[in-house]
Amino acid sequence: MKVTLARILVVDDDEVMRTFVVNSLRRIGIQAIEVAADGASALRTMVSFKPDLVLTDIHMQPMDGLEFVQHLRQHSNPMIKNMKVIFMSADASTETLEQALPLGTFGYIVKPPRPETLQTKLEQALK
């Protein structure tokens, strides 16, 4: 799939960071973008928007990114259960990475993400 045709869901509780990521995605040519402020609202958005990939923060309230992805992996809908996910976080600690990586994701981007980094990670996940 061409990255520019992808439908991307951005999940982050920080409005400034959500806007930054959306603008970065637009710079690399992606137009179909939805946003959610936490894991619970992201789960609801998944059903109506049907993204190709989710970019999610890890540290959010009330449902963090790790819990959100665990909910995805246990979902009865195969489209949601097998969703491609890339974590984004300013926290690149070993402890956080060890919690995040076993959840079947397509990597981890340290925030704020550079457009080139986003494009590379999206291409890897969507090919």
Res 97: pLDDT: 80
| CATH code for the structural domain at 3-121 | 3.40.50.2300
Listing from the earlier edge strand, what are the strands of the sheet with 53-57? 32-36, 7-11, 53-57, 84-89, 108-110
pTM: 0.94
Where exactly are the structural domains of the chain? 3-121
Amino acid in position 44:
R
Query: What is the C-alpha separation between 9 and 124, in angstroms, rounded?
Result: 17
Average pLDDT for runs of 10 along the chain of length 127: 93 96 96 96 93 95 92 93 93 83 87 92 94
Query: What is the C-alpha separation between 14 and 125, in angstroms, rounded?
Result: 24
